[in-house]
Structures are given as C-alpha cells and as structure tokens.
Amino acid sequence: MSYRKSKILFSILLIVSILLHGLAWWWVDIKELFKPEPLNNSTTVQITLQPPEPLVVPPKPKPPVQKPVPKAKNTDPIKEPIEEKPIEEERHLPTHNADTFASSNNSDRTATKIKRDDQTDNAKKEVKGDKTKDHKKEELKADKTERAKAKTVSSNKKGGEKKAKNTDKKPEINQTNSETKSKQVYSENHSEKLKMQNRYLERMMKQITNNLIPPRKPVRPGRGAISLVLGSDGYLVDAKIAESSGDFTLDLSVLEAIKRVHRFEVPSSERVASKYYTKLIIRYNETIFDQ
C-alpha cells in the first residue's frame, strides 16, 4: 500500500515538473516572439574631402612680333626743281658800285672783289681786344684797391680788438687780486677755526684720558672710533662705538671713560658749540693708556 502511494506521488511530482518546465519554455518563447528587434544596425558614413583641382590658367597668347619693314633706299632721289630766274629779271636787279667804278677801267665792267668784310672783322676784333685789355686793367686796379681797403679795415679791427682785450685784461687783474685776497682771508679764517677745534678736541681728549682706567690684561693693538653727541652746554647726550678696534676690552674702557666725564669743555657761545661741537668722533688706539 505504501509502495503504491509513493509511486502515485512520484508520478504526480513528475507530471507537475514536466508541466512547469513546459510552461517555462513556452513563456520564454513567447517573450522572444514579442521582443522588439534590437537597433544595432549602425551605419558609418565616411566623408573624405578632396582638395579642389587647381585651375589651369591658359597661357596668354604672345602678340605677334611685327618685323620692321625695311625702308626702300631712295636710289633716285627727287631733286628739287631749281627755279631759274628769268633773264629779264636780272636786268632790273641792283648792281654793285664796284661795277660802275670798274667800268672805266675794264671794258667788260668786271673788277676784282675786295675782302672788305675781313678787314672790318679784323678791325672790330682789334677794338674788342683793346676794350677787354682795358677792362681787365680796370678790374685789377679795382681788386688792388679793394684788397688795400680790406687790409686797412682788418688792421683797424685788430687794433680795436687788441685795445678791447687790453681794456678787458685790467679788470681781470683786479679780479684775480680780489680773489687771491678773499682766498687768503678764507684760508686764514679756516685755519683759525681748525686751530680752535684742535684746542678744544685736545682738551676733550685730556678729559677722557684722565677718566680712563687701564684694564688688568694687556690689550691687542688696533684702532677704533667712538661717535659722541653733545649738547650746546657740553653735556653728553649719546656715545656709541662707530668702529671697533678688534679688542672689546679697549673699546669698553674708552667708552666708559667718555661716560665718566661730567661735562666736556666747549666754547661759551652756544651757536658755535651747536655748530661745531655737538657731533664728534673720538679716534683711539692701544697707546691711549700711555698718555
């Protein structure tokens, strides 16, 4: 009984599976039937641009060369007709005076012709030659007189210029004398100012060396400079090392000695003190301790 049931179940399952497979197959076929065709038909269009053909310009026709027509030689030149004077007109033409004068000498009234034109031409030439010679002589005389006048004028001008130069030189001498005098006065004043400055600087340097304390160790040789700013009354406003000597002990010793000075000696005139003694530079070296 159980075997039979199992067989029936197996057959039922088999039929159901066959139906399902058939239905699935049928469903796939129907989808394929109703499915639209894919648009995969792609067409490629290739366009190639060809360059235009060059225009062939026909050559210009050359103009026909015309050969020069040879000129026909006049083998038989046309002679102009010479008009012959009638004999009757010769009778009425005016006759030369020489014929009348020659008629008494010669029976045929012929006379030798005198070259009066040549004689007159020669006479004219001689007259012209004399005139040109006279003209040249006059021109030479005029040139000589003009040159003489020019020389006199130039000599007068040179004399005037020399006089002007001489007159100009005199004030130059006076100017040079005044300049030399002014230079001498300026140099004297300048030397006096320098002497005064040197005196006050020596006094200031003496004040610094009096307040100088030599260090325990010997200092190295070198040169330095300290810039001072003083008031018009001689009191110290500022002091700093402008140029180091290379030994820090030497620089500090001089700087401390400057600061120890109560008041520097400056001129009593505030104007002179403010002009010449407010900004000073004290230069020193290792020998400052020996002073």
Q: Quickly tell me which residue has 């407010």 as its tokens.
A: 278
Residue 218 located in a structural domain: yes
Instruction: Write out the two tokens for 265.
Output: 């000696």
pLDDT of residue 261: 92
> CATH number, domain at 255?
3.30.1150.10
pLDDT of residue 41: 59
What is the extent of the structural domain holding 274? 139-291
Q: How many residues are present in the chain?
A: 291
Residue 70 located in a structural domain: no
Question: Rounded CA gap, 280 and 261, in Å?
Answer: 15
Question: Dihedral angle at the C-alpha atoms of 115, 117, 120, 125, nearest 10 degrees?
Answer: -110
pLDDT of residue 260: 93
Residue 49 located in a structural domain: no
Residue 94 located in a structural domain: no
Residue 42 located in a structural domain: no
Q: Count structural domains, the chain.
A: 1
Question: Rounded CA gap, 230 and 280, in Å?
Answer: 8
Instruction: Write out the two tokens for 233.
Output: 């009354």
pLDDT of residue 124: 55
- E-assigned strands of the chain? 223-230, 236-243, 279-285
Contact (Cβ atoms closer than 8 angstroms) between residue 207 and residue 257:
no
Residue 61 located in a structural domain: no
Cβ atoms within 10 Å, residue 208? 23
Would you give per-residue pLDDT tens digits along the chain (291 residues)?
Answer: 577 888 888 899 999 999 998 888 888 766 666 665 655 556 676 777 767 776 777 777 777 767 666 665 555 444 444 554 445 445 545 454 444 444 444 445 454 444 454 555 555 555 555 556 666 667 677 666 767 766 665 555 555 555 545 544 444 445 566 666 666 666 777 777 778 778 888 889 999 999 998 888 888 999 999 999 999 898 999 999 999 999 999 999 999 999 999 999 888 888 888 888 889 999 999 888 887
Question: Rounded CA gap, 213 and 26, in Å?
Answer: 127
Residue 147 located in a structural domain: yes
pLDDT of residue 164: 47
pLDDT of residue 273: 85
Residue 103 located in a structural domain: no
pTM of the model: 0.36
Show Cβ contacts of residue 259 under 8 Å, excluding neighbours closer than 6 positions. Answer: 236, 239
> Amino acid identity of 16?
V
